[in-house]
């Protein structure tokens, strides 16, 4: 009887170790080298950063205006150029996307999410 209990305990411990082993190992990387940025990817990244800066500036201006830190005249003077900058950045990013995705599959996926 005690032999069966001991054997069961050993078998249980072995099973736990075998199941946990994949989770305890460090995954081996395929490669330690960073992917080199192609000029096309650098351009897309620069356009995305420009878009993010423009949209962030618009958001900040809107928040400052709502909070009363920016008066109406300054808001009207600033909102136009910021909107044009954001629209220009979005157009440039869309045209760059159209070059790499001529069928528009990426934009269709984005539209489906919204």
Q: State mean pLDDT over 21-47.
A: 82
Predicted local confidence at residue 102, as pLDDT: 62
Average pLDDT over the chain reads: 85
Rounded to whole angstroms, the Cα distance separating 49 from 35 reads 19
pTM of the model: 0.57
By three-state DSSP, how is residue 70 classified?
coil
pLDDT tens digits, 96-113: 888 876 665 454 545 544
Task: Give residue-wise pLDDT tens across range 78-88.
Answer: 999 999 999 99
C-beta separation of 79 from 71 below 8 A:
no
Contact (Cβ atoms closer than 8 angstroms) between residue 47 and residue 92: yes
Q: Residue 105, class by beta-carbon neighbours within 10 Å (0-12 exposed, 13-18 middle, 19+ buried)?
A: exposed
């Amino acid at each position: 009887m005690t032999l069966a209990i001991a054997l069961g305990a050993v078998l249980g411990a072995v099973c736990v170790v075998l199941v946990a082993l994949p989770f305890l190992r460090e995954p081996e990387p395929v490669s330690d080298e960073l992917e080199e940025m192609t000029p096309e990817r650098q351009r897309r990244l620069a356009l995305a950063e420009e878009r993010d800066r423009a949209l962030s500036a618009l958001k900040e201006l809107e928040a400052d205006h709502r909070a009363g830190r920016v008066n109406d005249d300054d808001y009207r003077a600033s909102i136009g150029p910021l909107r044009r900058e954001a629209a220009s950045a979005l157009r440039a990013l869309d045209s760059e996307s159209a070059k790499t995705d001529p069928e528009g599959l990426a934009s269709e996926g984005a539209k489906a999410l919204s």
